[in-house]
Structure formats: structure tokens, C-alpha cells
Structure 1
Amino acid sequence: MGTIKKTQNCDTQHDKSSRKLFVLDTNILLHEPHAIYSFQEHDVVIPMTVLEELDRIKDSKRDVARDARVAIRALEAIFHDATPEEISTGIPFGKQITDSNHVSGTISILADFDIQDSDKAFADKAGDNRILNGVLSLQNSSAPREVVLITKDINMRLRAKGAGVEHVEDYRTDQLIDDVQFLTKGFTEYKGNFWDNFKQVESKNIGSKTFHTVDREGLEPTYINQYLIDEDSDFAGRVEELTPTTAKIRDLGREHLLHRQAWDVRSKNIYQGMALNALLDPDIDLVILTGAAGSGKTILAMAAALEMTIEKKIFDKIIVTRNTPDIGEAIGFLPGTEEEKMLPWLAAITDTLEALHKNDHNTEGSLKYICDKANIQFKSINFMRGRSIQNAFVLLDECQNLTASQIKTIITRCGEGSKIVCSGNLAQIDSTYLTPVTSGLTYIVERFKSFEGSVNVHLNGVVRSRLAEFAEENL
């Protein structure tokens, strides 16, 4: 504790006035348990109500119970040796002092149950109202310092502004874009002829592969493994290498992509062709598929998984998992093994397997044979933590409902020889606190766009049926 006291002694009034006070709502710590470390240059305040809510959630059967426990442990690690006075006044995060006039921010706990009536906007003791009263009290007592309430609850932000809180913000540390329309689609479609954009092209054949080296100035903003197509020619390619001045493009050919197939599933458009190209490429470790319902994300991923596991014998097993918002509460009440409990949530996968074998003489027998042959395992996302998955083809479905930290947990499970496919539709987010721009799916698309071992493809068009296509466009 000696270091903390020394740091506090050299914290001048000028230092305090230049730092903001960030008050975190409970949903911030459930969204990102280590969010407190995103504000280290300022002062973080945790209302007592937040700790009480975390305490109630940590022992529940909700899927956020683990995040609540992680947040509590992070706070305990900071406060475990602190005195009550230090907890209320603020403890430095522990960063080294960079110079004599600057220290890192602090974190403290606000006793929001003991607020003077003059500072209260709400008389009742509901959780959100206690937090808002605490923010208003800080705002009055800490002026002219800026007090900012951070919450992912839109209605909480509206109520805070209505109650007189001057600064209310969403948590945007893990938000990489401001509008989902700017999210990279994984391909660039050029008007006219692609080759008209370049004065000089150097082509080279290496075995059966053809590569073109072009001036990077002729390309629109591009990333490694981004697909390139045009309107007028038969060209389709993928960026293989990038230098500050040039780009090396592998020529794939539009017709070749349109005829790609796996497990007797043939691409129905150029976008599915690009997706199959990535799914069947053994050098690609992560494939991210986005697109509307009915665009073919699940069936392409499953077809590629069966092809590479059974026919090509690249993988030893297929692991299928997805986010289930109420799985923590409901899975224990369903009969059977873990895999049998998961089947209601993975009906999309079993429906896809049936569609792939609907023309077999005995569909049920074929499905049982394929599941055994490919060693298909249906796993709960909760039981994926702590595992190291080797030589497996992993399908992570409905990723739009996962936070960035949840997806990180799954991706980091993949060991040597494994491939993971993350798919989702950003228009179908069920999570209370996620939006298209804060979804973990959006996060990994942006984070992995420059990684040579990943490919992202947005599947345009709905190929499920004309009814589904009309519904997607008009409802």
C-alpha cells in the first residue's frame, strides 16, 4: 500500500481537474468485464448498486453469470488491500508514474445509497434510480470536473439526460466503426473492366496458379485476402500479398468460382463462390460469413466441413456450437446428454444436414452414418471455455449475438490444425445490449481484415426461396 499512498500524495489538484469521472453502469461490466481498464487515464467510479447487481447475477443461471464473476474478480484484485477510506477516495490503477506531474487515474466505489435529498432526482430506491442519483450527486460535488455516465442501456441514457445528467455516453472502446454500412464486405466489385484501372500488369504462372502484380494506386482500399470482381470481364481474384506500392493478386476466374462445389452443393452466385473458395482453402484458418437470412451461410459452411473432414480427411472432427441466450437457465432442464440438450438450439444445423441428404434412399440412416463418420459434435458455448481444440472444423453460428470478448474466448480455443467458421446476420441481433456496430461479429470482421490467415465474405442475395427473398427485401 506504500506505493498507492505515495502516488496519491503527488496527485495535484490540477491533475484531478484535467481528468474525467466515468461512472460505469452494470451492463458495461457484463458486456466487457475488464472495461474498467479502458479508462485508466481518468477516474472510474463504480456505484454500490452495480456491485449488488453483479452479486445477484454471478450466481444466476444466465449466460452473463461468468462475465459478472470475472468483473468481480477484477475489482477484488484492485481493492483487496485497500482501506474503506481509500476505496471511497480512489485507488490508482497501478500504472508507473511517467513524470512528476502526472499519474494514472483512479477507481473508487460510490455509496449511492447514502445520497443527500437535495441531490436526488428520484425518490424510490430502484437500481437504476440509485445510480442516477449517485451520478447527479457526483456532478454537483465534483464541479467543474466532467462526470460521464457510461451505459449501454438506451433508455437509461434517455432518463439520465431527462434527470439532468450533463454527459451520458455508450461504451465504444470495442466499437471500431460508427455505421455498419462501412463494414468491409470482404470483396470489392469494380464497375466496368477491372484491368482498365492499371497501366501495367505483370503476370506470372506458378504451377497451376496465375498471379498478377499491379500498382496499388489503381485499387480501391484493399486488404489481404480480399476478393476482387468486376462487371464486364470474367475476372475474379483474391489479394495474396500487399506492399506499400504494389499488390499481388491470385487469378481465380469468375467461372471457376461459380462452379465451386462441396458435398454436392454448388455455388448459386459469385458471392457463394467466393465463400466456398475460402471455406475449402486449407491455408485459411478463419472464415467469417455475414449476410441476410437465406443467403446460404450455414449450408455452405456445413457442406465444406463434410467435404474437408470426410472426403479430404483434413480434419478429424466437426464441432458445431452457437450462442444460446437462455442456455444457462434452460439446458439443465432438457433430457439427455449435452449434445442432445443442444439440439433444439442447433436445429438450423440439423435442418441443413437433412437438406444435404434429402435425396438419399434412407435420409435418417445417412444422417447417422455421416454424424459418426465426420465425428460431428454439438457443443454448448459455455463448455468451450478452457478447451484446446486440435484438428477440428469448428462452426460458430449466430455470432451476431456474441460480444467481442465471447468470440475471442472461442477463437483462442482453436489449436494446431483447426479451422473456424464464424457466421451471422447483423440484422437479427437478439442480445439486449448489442447493436450491429458493437456486435462481436462486427468487431472480428474489422480486427481480422488484415490477418493473412482469415477471409471475410458478405453473402449478397437470398437463395433459400423466392418467398424468403421477397420477405427479406420488403418486410
Structure 2
Amino acid sequence: MSASKASRLYILDTNVLLHDPKCLFEFKEQDVAIPMTVLEELDDIKDRKQTVAQEARHAIRIIDSILSTATSSEQITKGVRILLPGVDREIRLGRLSIFPDHELTARAGFLPDERNKDNKIINCALHLQATFPHRQVVLVTKDINMRLKALGAGLKRVEDYRTDQLVSDLDLLPEGYQYLDTPFWEGVDKVNSYQDGGQTFHKVDVSLLPNTYPNEYIYDSSKDFAARTVAVKDQEVTLLDLGYSHLMNQSCWGIQPINIQQAFAMQSMLDPDIDLSIFLGSAGSGKTLIALACALEMVIEEGRYNKIIVTRSTPPVAEDIGFLPGTEEEKMTPWLSSINDNLEAMHEQDERPQSSVKYALEKANIQFKSLNFIRGRSIQNAVVLIDEAQNLTPQQLKTIITRCGKGTKMVCLGNLAQIDSNYLTPLTSGLTYIVERFRDFEGAASVHFEGVFRSRLAEFAEENL
């Protein structure tokens, strides 16, 4: 690599490119280096049947498009100017180079066991730090343990990739509802109420709910008032009156809400004006049960949709699903046992529970689909349940949600405390991303579930472990 005017040199780990294939355009005027080991890892992943295989191929295509202007291998090693696609070519970023880290030989200060790919990437960063003492060399990785190893090995700067991080603290993530300590109507001096389509709406001054946003649920201490913000416009907030008692008395497929959060979630699923419902909450809070009960009600009883499609993140589906026997749905069964568990729970009081479960599966046309086969589809007239969504990247969730066709409702379920991915954190999870991104979208609602109702043992474990 030759001298550069850029003050920083970023070395990217594989997981950063998988997390955001477009990350190469996010480092502004600074230079980016990709070790050869990273390219080898991307090549190894791109042909596997993994949920990240498409991200690997996307990253490879972007790297190729940037380096395609190079006329020699020396130029690739020195660095090729990064140009934003579809933008005036005068707007230039830093340079991208490929570093041949396989040519590095063992030396003092390097990590041993160079067969370990993480060690190879760290050694590459250490070499570049020694080679360019006048520049700030930064290793960027989403692997916490790799960051600790790099710092312990003597690398001065190691960072997480945070460009796509929309919130700095999970406490800033909207819960989807707002509780008022005092009865709402006591503070209202002026209201414009009207009926439309059999529903009651209220227009009040925005000062009463200064921080509300579309589809946020509002309730107060009176246990009488409950509403949903429909619009915030011209210093006015339009509320859809839902009624606390009415919400708590909702029933879908024999299931009623236990608390107000479950009632909000149920309302969001049943409302045809909401295309995307997002449910967050701890294990045992009722997310899957409520979602499945509402889906069965809308498909079987109301006939609003033709089928229920269930999918989820399936680590390590990449390596294992191909070796499981049977059809795609049979291969997915081990990862979607939570659906069967909830179906059994809903029908445990029936005279013949197994027959009832079989009836629900067939009548509702419940289909279990792998994420690998969701890509490229256009799903029409269906309820799509995306379970364990916390393990998906923003790019993966975008791919799934954009499959939504005419007359389809998407439901994302997840628990940010149970992330299994090696390169995701609660702050960078795709679930966090869509909660924040869809905050002001009139067709989406998110609800954070409270409480654990699975058992007193589960509740104690959630609170104390």
C-alpha cells in the first residue's frame, strides 16, 4: 500500500461485510483495506445454503465493482478510489485495497496459530499499524471476542461497526404504548370528536401528547380510556378510541389478552389498516401465542387471508437443514416447534387435542418456510409470522418484508435478550432497526410485551438469572 492523504485506514472483518454489504461506502474520505483472508471467508460462505450467503455474494459484487477500474494487481494492493454508484463522479470517497495477508511471516508481536482466520486478520492489522505509524489503523469487527484479542495483541484502535445503529441505548427504543398517570380526559379542554366507518375518533391539541407518533397506543390510570394515535398533523393529534374494556375483552381462537400489552398487540393484528405488527418481549410473554391465535382467527373464521406462512432465523440452518430428512417444511419443523407448542396449548382442553391441532394446520394452510426460499417471492393474501427476528440483520429483514404483496400482513416476533448471531447485538439487530425505522410509518405498529406467563419458574428465571 502506498502513502495516502487519508488519516485513517480501516481494516474490515468478514462479519462487517456480511452485516452490511454496502458498508464500503460509509467510511467517507478514509481508506479501507480488506485482508485476503476475508475474501476467502466470503468465498466460502457465498455458496452455502445460509441466510448470510446472499449478503456474502452482495459484498463480493460491490468489491468487484469498485476494483474493476484497476489496471494491475499493484494498483489493487495500493488502493482503488471508491466511487458512489449512481452519484456524480466528483463526489469521491477513500480508497479500497486488498491486502495479501497470506504473505505475512511470523514475527514478534503477532498472534500464534495463523491457521486461525481471526488471528490472520488481527496480524494484518498489526502489520499495517507498524507500517504506517503516521496513520490511525482501525480494525472494524462485530465480534466482541475478536476486539478483545486485537486490543490484547497491541492494536491501538478496534471498533464495532455502528453506522447502521439507529439508537444508542435500548431504553430509547419506543415501547409502542404510552401510559398516563392521570386520566386523559381530565387534561383535555378542547376536543373534536367524530364518527367514521363505525369508529370514534378524537382530535386534540398536540401539547397533550407531545411525543406521540403514528400507531402508538395510549392508556391511562382510569382503566377506562384507551386509544391509538392515528395521525400527528397541524398541531393536532388524531386518536382512534379503542376503549379499555373492549380491548381486554377481545378474543381470537379462544384466546383473550391477559394484560393491556397483549390487548394492544391483538388489536394491531386485527386492524386491516396495519400492515406490519412488531412484537418484542421476553420468553413466555405471549408473543407467539397472540400472533398465532389472531392469524388463525383471520384465516379460518374471518377468511381475510388465504394462509399462514411461518418462518424464522434458523442458526445453524446453513449447515444442518440440507441433511435433515423430508420436504422443506419437514426440515423446518425442529426450528418451528414453538408454533406446534402454542397450537397444542390452545387446544389442550379439547376432547381430541391432536385432531384439533391437525385441523388448524390444514384449515389455516399453515406453511413452514425457510428464509432461503422466501427470497425472491411475492407473497399475496397471507399472514407471515417471522419468529426469532432478533437474529436477523437489517438487510435480511428488509429482504423478507419487501416480499409483502397485496393483502398480506407481516408480523415480526423477537426477544432482543436472546440473540444467537455471532455478529449482531441488541443495538444492531434487524429487529431494533425496523422498530426505529417504521416508527413514523402509518402502516406499522410495535408493542413491547410485559410480564412472563409461561410459568412461575420461567418468570423467576427471567427476573433473576
Q: CA deviation at 1:404?
A: 0.9
What's 2:5 paired with? 17
What's 2:141 paired with? 151
54, 59, 74: which is aligned to 1:85? Answer: 74
Question: 1:250 and 2:240 equivalent?
Answer: yes
Provide closer, same or farther for how the CA distance between residues 112 and 261 of structure 1 changes in structure 2, counting only shifts above 3 A: same
Question: 1:356 and 2:346 equivalent?
Answer: yes
Question: What do the CA deviations read for 1:325-344 (whole angstroms, capped 9, x no partner)?
Answer: 01122222222211111111
Provide closer, same or farther for how the CA distance between residues 135 and 411 of structure 1 changes in structure 2, counting only shifts above 3 A: same
Question: What do the CA deviations read for 1:262-309 (whole angstroms, capped 9, x no partner)?
Answer: 111111111111111001011111000011111111111111111111
In structure 2, give the amino acid aligned to 1:464.
R
41, 50, 70: which is aligned to 1:53? Answer: 41
Q: CA deviation at 1:150?
A: 0.5
**Larger deviation: 29-38 or 303-312?**
29-38
90, 95, 105: which is aligned to 1:106? Answer: 95
What's 1:4 paired with? none
**Larger deviation: 214-223 or 420-429?**
214-223
After superposition, residues 70-81 of structure 1 pair within 5 angstroms as 70-81=58-69
What's 1:7 paired with? none
Question: What do the CA deviations read for 1:392-436 (whole angstroms, capped 9, x no partner)?
Answer: 110110111111111111111111110010001111111122111
Distance, in Å, in 1 between the alignment partners of 2:43 and 2:223 is: 61
Question: 1:408 and 2:398 equivalent?
Answer: yes
Distance, in Å, in 2 between the alignment partners of 1:210 and 1:97 is: 51
What's 1:226 paired with? 216
**Larger deviation: 284-293 or 60-69?**
60-69
Distance, in Å, in 2 between the alignment partners of 1:433 and 1:386 is: 25
What's 1:296 paired with? 286
Aligned partners of 1:17 and 1:145 also within 8 Å: no
Distance, in Å, in 2 between the alignment partners of 1:255 and 1:214 is: 22
Aligned partners of 2:49 and 2:372 also within 8 Å: no
Question: 1:454 and 2:458 equivalent?
Answer: no
Q: CA deviation at 1:63?
A: 4.1
Distance, in Å, in 1 between the alignment partners of 2:6 and 2:99 is: 20
In structure 2, give the amino acid aligned to 1:74.
I
Distance, in Å, in 2 between the alignment partners of 1:206 and 1:170 is: 50
Question: 1:137 and 2:146 equivalent?
Answer: no
TM-score, length of structure 1 as denominator length: 0.91
In structure 1, give the amino acid aligned to 2:111.
F
In structure 2, give the amino acid aligned to 1:211.
F
Aligned partners of 2:6 and 2:31 also within 8 Å: no
What's 2:194 paired with? 204
24, 37, 44: which is aligned to 2:32? Answer: 44
Aligned partners of 1:63 and 1:326 also within 8 Å: no
Aligned residues: 460
- The 3-state SS of whatever aligns with 2:268 is helix
Aligned partners of 2:194 and 2:202 also within 8 Å: yes
Q: CA deviation at 1:115?
A: 4.2
- The 3-state SS of whatever aligns with 1:172 is coil
Distance, in Å, in 2 between the alignment partners of 1:465 and 1:118 is: 57
- The 3-state SS of whatever aligns with 1:39 is coil
What's 1:441 paired with? 431
What's 2:271 paired with? 281
Provide closer, same or farther for how the CA distance between residues 75 and 183 of structure 1 changes in structure 2, counting only shifts above 3 A: same
Question: 1:168 and 2:158 equivalent?
Answer: yes
**Larger deviation: 362-371 or 332-341?**
362-371
Q: CA deviation at 1:217?
A: 2.0
Q: Which runs of 5+ in 2 are unaligned?
A: none
- The 3-state SS of whatever aligns with 1:346 is helix
Distance, in Å, in 2 between the alignment partners of 1:116 and 1:429 is: 37
Question: 1:186 and 2:176 equivalent?
Answer: yes
Aligned partners of 1:342 and 1:378 also within 8 Å: yes
What's 2:386 paired with? 396
In structure 1, give the amino acid aligned to 2:378.
S
Provide closer, same or farther for how the CA distance between residues 415 and 193 of structure 1 changes in structure 2, counting only shifts above 3 A: same
What's 1:265 paired with? 255
What's 1:310 paired with? 300
Question: 1:371 and 2:361 equivalent?
Answer: yes
In structure 1, give the amino acid aligned to 2:418.
Q
Aligned partners of 1:226 and 1:238 also within 8 Å: yes
Q: CA deviation at 1:356?
A: 1.8
What's 2:227 paired with? 237
Distance, in Å, in 2 between the alignment partners of 1:223 and 1:137 is: 50
Provide closer, same or farther for how the CA distance between residues 242 and 365 of structure 1 changes in structure 2, counting only shifts above 3 A: same
Aligned partners of 1:186 and 1:455 also within 8 Å: yes
Q: Which runs of 5+ in 1 are unaligned?
A: 1-10
Distance, in Å, in 2 between the alignment partners of 1:158 and 1:210 is: 57
Distance, in Å, in 1 between the alignment partners of 2:324 and 2:197 is: 54
In structure 2, give the amino acid aligned to 1:455.
A
TM-score, length of structure 2 as denominator length: 0.93
Aligned partners of 1:17 and 1:144 also within 8 Å: no
Aligned partners of 2:50 and 2:372 also within 8 Å: no
Identity of aligned residues (%): 54
Aligned partners of 2:81 and 2:94 also within 8 Å: yes
**Larger deviation: 359-368 or 438-447?**
359-368
Provide closer, same or farther for how the CA distance between residues 262 and 143 of structure 1 changes in structure 2, counting only shifts above 3 A: same
- The 3-state SS of whatever aligns with 2:373 is helix
